[in-house]
Structure 1
Amino acid sequence: MKLAPFWSAASAAIVLTLAAAPAASSEHTDAAIGLPVPAVQALDAVSAPVAAPVAAVAPAPAPVVRRAFYDADEQPLAPGAFVWRPELATAGPVEMVVSIPLQRAYVYRGGVLIGVTTVSTGRPGHATPTGSFPILEKRREHYSNLYNNAPMPFMQRLTWDGIALHAGQIPGRPASHGCVRLPLEFARLLFAATRVGGEVHIVDSAPTAETALAEVRGPTEIGVEMTLASLR
């Protein structure tokens, strides 16, 4: 079963209608997330007094709406890119599945997909271990005591011998000393969402966002239809 787009036909129609209407507001796109930032109304044209005729103003450009999630086969994320949609699930434990072959991670809250990101795992000779790991410790500012005091921003420790999630360079291939590197902004957002004890699953397979949780938890432990309800 393929992931259905977030936008229903009715929602798409609303978006197209809003995009076509002239707007006296400003809008920009958040380059890190790739989603439009809502415009802010600068002036109430109904209540504001009119002192003199005003020249016509060209309508603002239509907002760019992009799909928030998609299968790896359809439109892969570029190295360092990610998508973060925490509003899709506001309660429940946060759980993460990291795929070494895909160099990608999926984040779920209460079993609902809320994030997809590119990662960089361990390079040859420094393999990232597979398995399920609880988050043992969290530090916003941390430095490696193994590798020349290297910075590890937004560190979330998975093992006591040096494996962690943290912000770092994402070159599109395994390049770390065994840690799971995350894009800086994504690492910050994830750090705020997780708790000590949260589960991080690292797999040597290539699951989709739809199958990843079932793979690590077993198909009988997760209601797939409920998990994907917000994606339809």
Structure 2
Amino acid sequence: MTSIARLRLAALALTAGLLASCATAPKQAGTGNAVPVAQAQLPYEWTHGHAPRATKEAQALFGTVAMKPGQYRWATTIPDAPARVIIDRMQQLMFVYKGDTLVGVTTISSGKKGKETPLGYWKVFRKQVKGFSRKYDNAPMPYMQMYDPMGIAFHAGALPGYPASHGCVRLPLEFAKKLYGLTTNGTEVVIEG
């Protein structure tokens, strides 16, 4: 078993803790059952620092992260470094890094109640410019990047300003195109919130 697989198994075991104040329960990766997540029990890198730090960096770089649904910001210069994606379900934002440099931030629409986008640490393992959902009537998933073996991905889609998907993370079309060109199989994805 690889170290990443061991880390994921250990992290999944940690998600079994309960938080009395947890209003909604995100899905545990790999199952259809909703499991409350105890924030204090998740690994540090999942819940502490990524999204708040990214928000501060976005404010410094772009002046604000207050955007209307479908809006995004993209840096004018992109360093030559590996990409990394941070998704904040609470703020409904995605942050894209190249190395340690923030290069983009966008509004998203994550999974709706009962179909919440799972929290955790992932890696992109499949990319398709013209992706289609196998679960939901062959629904189009343009610029699809799969990171969860249960079929959850980020891709271009409708952005109503609140969580509305079946678990995937929807992005503005132009942002999805730019992101598709930056990532590779193995790109790290962190989902918080």
Instruction: Detail structure 1 runs of 4+ shifted over 3 Å in the superposition.
Output: 1-6
Structure 1: distance between partners of 2:58 and 2:94: 19
Note if contact 2:58-2:102 (Cα within 8 Å) is conserved in structure 1. no
Contact 1:3 1:70 in 2 (8 A): no
The RMSD of aligned alpha carbons is 1.8
Matches within 5 A, 1:109-120: 109-120=98-109
- Which stretches in structure 2 are left out of the alignment for 5+ residues? 1-52
Q: Note if contact 1:86-1:115 (Cα within 8 Å) is conserved in structure 2.
A: no
Distance 1:136 1:78 in 2: 30
Match of 2:145 among 156, 166, 169: 156
Q: Equivalent residue for 1:186?
A: 175
Aligned residue number for residue 171 of structure 1: 160
Output the amino acid matched with 2:94. A
- Look up the SS of the partner of 1:165 in the other structure: strand
Give the drift of 1:90: 2.0
- Alpha-carbon distance change, 168 to 5 in structure 1, aligned in 2, over 3 angstroms: closer
Q: Secondary structure at the match of 1:156?
A: strand
Task: Calculate the TM-score normalised by the size of structure 2.
Answer: 0.68
Pick closer, same or farther for the CA change 1:125–1:134 going to 2, 3 Å: same
**How far off its partner does 1:70 sit?**
2.9
Query: Relative to structure 1, is the Cα distance of residues 112 and 139 closer, same or farther in structure 2, using a 3 angstrom cutoff?
Result: same
| 1:1-232 mapped onto 2 (5 Å cutoff) | 3=57, 69-72=62-65, 76-85=66-75, 87=77, 89-204=78-193
- Structure 1 gaps of 5+ residues are 7-67, 205-232
Larger Rg computed on CA atoms? 1
Corresponding pairs, count? 139
> What's the % identity of the aligned pairs?
43
